[in-house]
Amino acid sequence: MPMRTASVVLDIQTQSLDSLYTYVVPDELTGVQVGCAVLVEFGARRAIGYIMEVIEHDEADVAPESFAKLKPLLQVLSASYFDEDGAALIQFIAHEYVAPLSSCVHLLTPVGRAPKVVKRGDVWELQKPARRRKKHVAEPEPPLDEDIAEAAEAREAFDLTDGQAKAIEVIQGCIDRCAGEVAVIDGVTGSGKTEVYLRAIRHALELGRGAIVLVPEIALTPQTVSRFEDRFGDTVAVMHSRMTGAERYDQWEAVRIGRKRVVVGARSALFCPMPSLGLVVIDEEHESTYKQESAPRYHARDVAAWMAQRTGAALVLGSATPSIETLCRTKVDDSWHRVSLPARANGKPMPDVRILDMAREFGHGSRSMFAKELQNQLFAATDAGHKAVLLLNQRGFANFLLCRECGYVPECDTCSVSLTYHEVGRKLVCHHCGKETTAPVTCPVCGSPYLKKFGAGTQRVEMELRRLLREHCEASGATMPRIVRMDSDTTSTRDAHEKLLAEFGAPGAAVLLGTQMIAKGLDFDEVVLVGVINADTQLRLPDFRSAERTFDLVEQVAGRAGRGKLDGLVLVQTYMHDATAIRAAAAYDRGRFLRDELPKRKMLGYPPYARLANILVWGADEAEVRTEAMKLSERVNETIVDIMGPGWQNLGAAPCAIDKLRGQHRWHILIKAPAGSDISKLAEPVIRKRKANKKVNVAVDVDPYSLL
Ligand code: ADP
Ligand code: ZN
Ligand code: ZN
């Protein structure tokens, strides 16, 4: 019999053990496969491992001594959770995002089902998850993919728009060629992108291939899910973080055995074990929720593109506001196709967007957070029994200074980001380069003394809104409309989101006041007015994507108005009424926005013209954190000089914009590399060579989405 060994990832969360270990596969051990959980000995302890590779060695070639030191696998603990493609995916993510291998393995194991070993006194004890009691209902045999496709086709109701037809043609080509191509569906809100996804999935099923659809967590409502279920019935599996471990496992297992062929889920659903995957759809691909903010800090879009390349599946990226990275990729990569859907499927025009200059309102003596025109339109809409949506842009709790008269916000000269205001010492700090100045007392541009520290909460806005509407109703005799507030406070329970939306959607006048979460997926015909209370807060964040996010937000939220028979109006309040991001969004003119934004990104060396890696350093002791950050930064410099070419740059260690979070002091080191380069080649050795330090944590964020 030939000798076999297995490469194993140990399920132990210690940086020093983060590589593959080799064990001998005993001849009598059965069921040893890539993707199995196994029990192994490691030093004096027992540990769980996951098999990444099984290697057969020819006895003639290998001296028995070379195996003498290797320990044997003790026990096989599970069926295979992933195959060779999965093992390659784990290795890819671990390298690309400089993440611990064990954290990457767990992307592919079912939540809460993986075995564990725990120490009881002196012995290591194996804990297998309890077997789930089998339900005694006989599950129906899954119908063939082709039958599901046929039934779905019968449910396809309307004629496609030209844009939709073109989009489907392109996607079908991608599916048929099995070359891992990408189709970017660049379609305005209401252009019928979902119908395109549905028909693309039907095509994949016709060929016997499964599909995974990712939507932002917040958009994963019963309304969204039912659009897929209405078309494909029982074969739809749903996966999101509000489900229990057991619920998620049931779905995971049903996918694995081929009973569910269409998955609709949040980011992590990308890793479900779909046999013969033919299509991945990422809806609202520009959304930052596709970036995971804990290890492994992967981006679902970029991982999906890698999976498509490896397996030949087609990738569809849909959005009304595709990310700049995606748009630029379609220009330079022949395997990325862009299709535009410029009009709403029902033929309705996009609503008018008007910009309200709040600095002017202030100049005219108004101290209200609602401009006169917004007040009047709000009264008109609710008096007529219609609905209105008000968005309070709350991203960014970093404070900044704002001149209430001219809208000036202090910025860093070298980094082109807003400076963060620190109450202690009245300092302005750049969180990219660390430069500090004293906060001015009067506006350096117009001399006004009204320099305000910014940030208003939804509760305060709700109070003022109530007062305004009550005064109006008392004076005019109109009935008070319902006010529904939707923010992280009011939506913390499991079904809160649903209930609030139902309350807003019920017949009669209503105003929905909420944070970013209301910008997506909200589809009510009676919404005639959308108001953005503060369009510019994001623009002031110390983040190079702030203009792009502002443009996206205004465009997305505008799409909520005038979807039905009634015309819509969008009012955007801002202190920066001539900011290009806001002007261009109001005119639905992306070209204008990009002509302004791209040269800036290029000049300052930001994506898509460069890659970034952000090394985060945090801990309870500020001095230790600073020292460690400085040390790492020095090592980054050495590595850049020694092995990297031109175009690599270390911006140096600096405190994070949010420099203290839950008692932890935070520093970071921002690295720039040429576009398309393997930035992990720099970050990985720096991190892996670092001596473990219990007091300070270090993590790398490759292609970071938040630099706060
Ligand atoms: P998007 O996802 O691009 O915002 P949706 O898929 O939600 O757009 O479509 C918006 C509305 O238009 C939905 O009510 C949908 O049923 C309808 N719709 C989609 N395609 C067509 C079509 N070809 N003809 C008529 N109505 C359509
Ligand atoms: Zn000023
Ligand atoms: Zn700076």
Contact call for residues 350 and 588 (beta carbons, < 8 A): yes
Distance from C-alpha of 435 to C-alpha of 417, rounded to nearest angstrom:
12
Q: For residue 266, which amino acid is it? A: A
* CA 609 to each of CA 19, 600, 613: distance values in angstroms, whole numbers, following the listed order: 32, 10, 14
- pLDDT, tens digit, for every residue of 466-493? 999 999 999 999 999 999 998 766 777 7
Q: Which of 267, 330, 278, 277 is nearest to 303 (CA)?
A: 267
Q: Is 346 in the pocket of ligand 1 (CB under 6 A)?
A: yes
Alpha helices by DSSP H, 515-671: 546-558, 580-586, 590-604, 622-643
Looking at mean pLDDT, say which of 52-66, 463-477, 633-647 comes out highest.
463-477
Q: Is 195 in the pocket of ligand 1 (CB under 6 A)?
A: yes
Q: Which has more pLDDT, 87 or 426?
A: 87
Q: Is the pLDDT of residue 398 over 70?
A: no
Contact call for residues 9 and 102 (beta carbons, < 8 A): yes
Per-residue confidence band for 306, with pLDDT thresholds at 50, 70 and 90:
very high
Distance of CA 576 from the midpoint of ligand 2 (Å): 12
pLDDT at 404: 82
Q: Is 180 in the pocket of ligand 1 (CB under 6 A)?
A: no
Mutation pick for ligand 1 pocket among 346, 348, 350, 556 (CB with most ligand atoms within 8 Å): 346
CA-nearest residue for atom 15, ligand 1, is 192
Q: For residue 141, which amino acid is it? A: E
Nearest ligand, CA 188? 1
Q: Is 319 in the pocket of ligand 1 (CB under 6 A)?
A: no
CA-nearest residue for atom 9, ligand 1, is 192
Q: Is 326 in the pocket of ligand 1 (CB under 6 A)?
A: no
Nearest ligand, CA 350? 1
Look up the pTM and report it.
0.88
Distance from C-alpha of 349 to C-alpha of 430, rounded to nearest angstrom:
43
Q: Is the pLDDT of residue 133 over 90?
A: no
| Percent with pLDDT over 70 in the chain | 94
Burial tier of 423 (Cβ tally within 10 Å: 0-12, 13-18, 19+): exposed
Region 19-45: mean pLDDT is 92
Q: Is 577 in the pocket of ligand 1 (CB under 6 A)?
A: no
pLDDT at 96: 95
Q: Which has more pLDDT, 417 or 648?
A: 648
Q: Is 321 in the pocket of ligand 1 (CB under 6 A)?
A: no
Phi, then psi, of 313 in degrees rounded to 5: -65, 155
CA-nearest residue for atom 5, ligand 1, is 192
Q: Is 445 in the pocket of ligand 1 (CB under 6 A)?
A: no
Region 2-22: mean pLDDT is 85
Distance of CA 418 from the midpoint of ligand 2 (Å): 15
Q: Which of 541, 544, 504, 540 is nearest to 525 (CA)?
A: 504
Region 508-513: mean pLDDT is 94
Distance from C-alpha of 250 to C-alpha of 247, rounded to nearest angstrom:
5
Q: Which residues contact 237 (CB under 8 A, 6 or more apart)?
A: 251, 254, 255, 260, 262, 263, 264, 265, 272
Q: Is the pLDDT of residue 104 over 70?
A: yes
pLDDT at 138: 60
Contact call for residues 617 and 666 (beta carbons, < 8 A): yes
pLDDT at 434: 76
CA-nearest residue for atom 23, ligand 1, is 160
Contact call for residues 323 and 291 (beta carbons, < 8 A): no
Nearest ligand, CA 444? 2
Q: Which of 464, 454, 299 is nearest to 366 (CA)?
A: 464
Distance of CA 451 from the midpoint of ligand 2 (Å): 8
Q: Is 223 in the pocket of ligand 1 (CB under 6 A)?
A: no
Alpha helices by DSSP H, 478-621: 496-505, 546-558, 580-586, 590-604
pLDDT at 164: 97
- pLDDT, tens digit, for every residue of 658-671? 777 667 888 999 99
- In ligand 1, the atom with minimum distance to the C-alpha of 187 is 3
Q: Is the pLDDT of residue 520 over 70?
A: no
Per-residue confidence band for 423, with pLDDT thresholds at 50, 70 and 90:
low
- pLDDT, tens digit, for every residue of 544-597? 899 999 999 999 888 888 888 888 999 999 988 899 999 999 999 999 999 999
Q: Is the pLDDT of residue 414 over 80?
A: no
Contacts 24+ apart (CB under 8 A), 323-331: 323/285, 323/286, 323/548, 324/548, 324/594, 324/597, 324/598, 324/601, 324/607, 324/608, 325/607, 325/608, 326/184, 326/285, 326/286, 326/301, 327/184, 327/186, 327/594, 328/608, 329/182, 329/608, 330/184
Per-residue confidence band for 135, with pLDDT thresholds at 50, 70 and 90:
low
pLDDT at 397: 40
DSSP 288: G
Q: Is 189 in the pocket of ligand 1 (CB under 6 A)?
A: yes
Q: Is 187 in the pocket of ligand 1 (CB under 6 A)?
A: yes
pLDDT at 16: 64
- In ligand 1, the atom with minimum distance to the C-alpha of 159 is 23
- In ligand 1, the atom with minimum distance to the C-alpha of 194 is 6
Mutation pick for ligand 1 pocket among 195, 286, 344 (CB with most ligand atoms within 8 Å): 195
| Percent with pLDDT over 90 in the chain | 59
Distance of CA 437 from the midpoint of ligand 3 (Å): 11
Phi, then psi, of 317 in degrees rounded to 5: -115, 115
Nearest ligand, CA 655? 3
Mutation pick for ligand 1 pocket among 194, 282, 319, 524 (CB with most ligand atoms within 8 Å): 194
Per-residue confidence band for 522, with pLDDT thresholds at 50, 70 and 90:
confident
**Sign of the Cα pseudo-torsion (567, 570, 571, 576, in order):** negative
Q: In DSSP terms, which residues pair with 42 in a beta bridge?
A: 45
Q: What's the whole-number average pLDDT of the chain? A: 88
Distance from C-alpha of 451 to C-alpha of 410, rounded to nearest angstrom:
11
pLDDT at 610: 94
Q: Is the pLDDT of residue 340 over 90?
A: yes
Per-residue confidence band for 54, with pLDDT thresholds at 50, 70 and 90:
very high
Q: Is 345 in the pocket of ligand 1 (CB under 6 A)?
A: yes
CA-nearest residue for atom 20, ligand 1, is 192
Q: In DSSP terms, which residues pair with 453 in a beta bridge?
A: 401
pLDDT at 669: 95
Q: Is the pLDDT of residue 394 over 70?
A: no
3-class secondary structure, 647: coil
Q: Which has more pLDDT, 480 or 395?
A: 480
Distance of CA 701 from the midpoint of ligand 3 (Å): 20
